[in-house]
Amino acid sequence: MVNATSAAAGIIGVIVLARHGDRTLYYQEPLTYRSQQAYLTSLGANQEYQLGSFLRDAYLDSNSSSHIEGINPENADMQQLRVRAEGGGGNAGVTSAYSLLQGLYPPTETAAIKLHNGSTVEAPLHGYQYIPVETIMQDGNPMLTPWIDCPYFQSHLNRTFNSSVWKDMEREAAPFLNASKPFIGSMDTNFTNMYNIYDYMNVQSTHDEGYRKALPPTFLEQARHFANMQQREVFNAQPINAIGEVAVRTLIPEMIWAMGNMTSNESPLKLALTTIDYQPFISFFNVTNATVKDPDVAGIPNYASALALEVFEGKDGEPELSLKFKNGTDDNEFRSLTMWGNDRVSLETFTTNLAYRTINNTRDWCFSCNETFSRGCFAMDFSKDPFLNPAAATY
Ligand SMILES: *[C@@H]1O[C@H](CO)[C@@H](O)[C@H](O)[C@H]1NC(C)=O
Ligand SMILES: *[C@@H]1O[C@H](CO)[C@@H](O)[C@H](O)[C@H]1NC(C)=O
Ligand SMILES: *[C@@H]1O[C@H](CO)[C@@H](O)[C@H](O)[C@H]1NC(C)=O
Ligand SMILES: *[C@@H]1O[C@H](CO)[C@@H](O)[C@H](O)[C@H]1NC(C)=O
Ligand SMILES: *[C@@H]1O[C@H](CO)[C@@H](O)[C@H](O)[C@H]1NC(C)=O
Ligand SMILES: *[C@@H]1O[C@H](CO)[C@@H](O)[C@H](O)[C@H]1NC(C)=O
Ligand SMILES: *[C@@H]1O[C@H](CO)[C@@H](O)[C@H](O)[C@H]1NC(C)=O
Ligand SMILES: *[C@@H]1O[C@H](CO)[C@@H](O)[C@H](O)[C@H]1NC(C)=O
Ligand SMILES: *[C@@H]1O[C@H](CO)[C@@H](O)[C@H](O)[C@H]1NC(C)=O
Ligand SMILES: *[C@@H]1O[C@H](CO)[C@@H](O)[C@H](O)[C@H]1NC(C)=O
Ligand SMILES: *[C@@H]1O[C@H](CO)[C@@H](O)[C@H](O)[C@H]1NC(C)=O
Ligand SMILES: *[C@@H]1O[C@H](CO)[C@@H](O)[C@H](O)[C@H]1NC(C)=O
């Protein structure tokens, strides 16, 4: 059983962001951050399944100190769950969500139903529970991958690549990148490519025994170190409503809406789960100041990492939140993190600190990015908009 030291008994609901599991090789264009998801591997499916079991122990087991009040522990109640996943490419986000759900709500004979003629039927695979996953396709909906094809984010990237912080990192990483040449195939050793270099080393050393043996012992760790540093620059910004934080600005509205549902008597929602890639974690820990007390969470989260926002009733009856994080499968602990220096914050504080300049829908995203065509913006017809299309404006 998970001994999560929750701030108070009586969790009303939980919002979980989970990273996909181990996958095949992936490539992010280093100058634009365009990418498509790869395919989940069997290892990745196991990691997600384990994460699902972990969340089950933490939130569904009625003996857990962090048990969600009123949630059905055995038979998935679709009204209590909302599951979304990043879709596109090899769909590692979607298949991760299914694997996670298999651990969260494993097959059960208790879900068998009785028919008109008295016979009992159970779903296949000993009562597999078919929980719907809403797939957010990359092409038509920017909300889970909002940094892609966003012109203002591209300007942020251009500024970042040209910044003195970046140039210092580039200098620091140069000897390592030079030494990495024999181990990264035909990849470019330009520092802008650091994330891909780390990813290549990680994927090859997980799946290829020969590669693992040949790679010098500290290389993977060094690559991770530089990739962590680099991705922090790419997906953070100052101030928090800047476009550099876009990876999380499109996720916060859903969090706030889910919290509103959980704390209202009209909605049965208890668990809202989204499977995504690593980028929003980096932005989230920055905009909530979680990295001030725990600087180590500023890096890339491992595969099958999970971040949870637990919603509970505080002392004076006001909804409060606490933040938990688990850095992948090898991390057994659901560690408590602070937000703005506090173990718990009121829902109101969370909303006040973050709701301004959230990006609530595709239309907002088009404006926030100055994009008029891709990712669904074409459907909005901005042809007469004086901001997005100054040339055509009829002031
Ligand atoms: C909770 O703990 C009690 C006492 O240890 C045990 O009898 C019961 O089976 C446990 N319930 C679950 C759901 O594990
Ligand atoms: C009862 O109905 C189901 C579905 O129509 C059918 O598959 C099953 O064979 C029936 N059982 C009996 C005992 O007739
Ligand atoms: C970013 O830099 C690239 C290459 O220097 C350039 O082609 C592109 O126009 C720039 N984009 C923006 C939005 O500044
Ligand atoms: C990069 O920064 C230098 C000054 O540090 C500036 O002169 C140059 O125009 C910048 N280049 C781009 C593409 O922003
Ligand atoms: C790059 O690595 C090679 C060996 O792989 C070494 O001979 C050379 O001195 C290195 N260059 C720099 C600039 O570190
Ligand atoms: C790395 O790539 C960027 C973008 O293409 C380029 O501006 C820069 O000169 C490259 N740096 C090196 C050391 O090749
Ligand atoms: C968030 O990221 C920005 C940009 O890198 C940085 O200036 C700021 O200190 C970070 N905030 C925290 C709390 O670490
Ligand atoms: C976006 O959503 C947030 C959170 O629900 C809300 O506070 C804000 O007013 C919304 N913004 C717009 C422009 O609708
Ligand atoms: C859940 O929240 C959404 C967004 O705020 C709202 O539109 C919806 O009506 C809520 N549902 C219930 C049942 O409260
Ligand atoms: C997760 O752990 C890895 C080491 O396994 C570390 O490099 C990374 O910074 C950690 N990420 C977070 C978000 O804690
Ligand atoms: C968040 O941390 C930054 C330092 O990185 C600090 O300037 C800011 O005041 C903090 N915000 C809050 C709300 O505590
Ligand atoms: C927004 O994009 C349009 C082209 O679609 C461009 O003309 C305009 O200058 C951009 N605005 C800003 C502030 O970059």
Q: Which residues pair with 68 in a beta bridge?
A: 11
The pLDDT tens digits of the residues spanning 177-188 come to: 999 999 999 999
Which residue type, as a one-letter code, is found at position 226?
Answer: F
Query: What lines the ligand 8 site, CB under 6 Å?
Result: 253, 256-257, 355, 358, 360
| Mean pLDDT, the chain, whole residue set | 93
Residue 5, domain member (yes or no): no
Same domain, 143 and 52: yes
Residue 53, domain member (yes or no): yes
pLDDT of residue 389: 65
Last residue of a domain, one of 227, 258, 276: 227
Same domain, 322 and 190: no
Q: Which atom of ligand 3 is nearest to the CA of 154?
A: 13
pLDDT of residue 314: 87
Q: What is the pTM of this model?
A: 0.93
Same domain, 348 and 375: no
Same domain, 264 and 141: yes
Residue 293, domain member (yes or no): yes
| Average pLDDT for 16-43 | 96
Residue 19, domain member (yes or no): yes
Same domain, 177 and 212: yes
Report the CATH number that the domain containing residue 59 is assigned in CATH. 3.40.50.1240
CA of 250 to the centre of ligand 12 (A): 21
- Highest-confidence range of 92-101, 313-322, 384-393, by mean pLDDT? 92-101
Task: Provide the residue range defining the domain that includes 281.
Answer: 11-111+121-147+239-357
Query: What lines the ligand 9 site, CB under 6 Å?
Result: 257, 260-261, 264, 266-267
How many structural domains does the chain have? Answer: 3
| Average pLDDT for 90-107 | 97
pLDDT of residue 391: 63
At residue 8 the predicted structure's pLDDT band, cuts being 50, 70 and 90, is very low
pLDDT above 80: residue 387: no
pLDDT of residue 390: 64
Q: Which of 95, 2, 96 is closest to 54 using CA atoms?
A: 2
Same domain, 125 and 268: yes
Same domain, 100 and 137: yes
Same domain, 136 and 170: no
Q: Which of 170, 172, 176, 178 to mutate to test the pocket of ligand 5 (most atoms within 8 A of CB)?
A: 178
Last residue of a domain, one of 181, 201, 227: 227
Same domain, 133 and 171: no
Q: Are 127 and 111 in contact (CB under 8 A)?
A: yes
pLDDT above 80: residue 87: yes
Same domain, 177 and 310: no
Residue 351, domain member (yes or no): yes
Same domain, 16 and 104: yes
Last residue of a domain, one of 193, 227, 261: 227
Residue 154, domain member (yes or no): no
The pLDDT tens digits of the residues spanning 322-374 come to: 999 999 999 999 999 999 999 999 999 999 999 877 999 999 999 999 999 99
Cβ of 72 below 6 Å from ligand 6: no
Residue 16, domain member (yes or no): yes
CA of 173 to the centre of ligand 7 (A): 21
C-alpha to C-alpha distance for 221 and 215, rounded to whole angstroms:
11
Cβ of 31 below 6 Å from ligand 6: yes
pLDDT of residue 383: 72
The pLDDT tens digits of the residues spanning 151-194 come to: 999 999 999 999 999 999 999 999 999 999 999 999 999 999 99
Same domain, 22 and 129: yes
C-alpha to C-alpha distance for 192 and 27, rounded to whole angstroms:
13
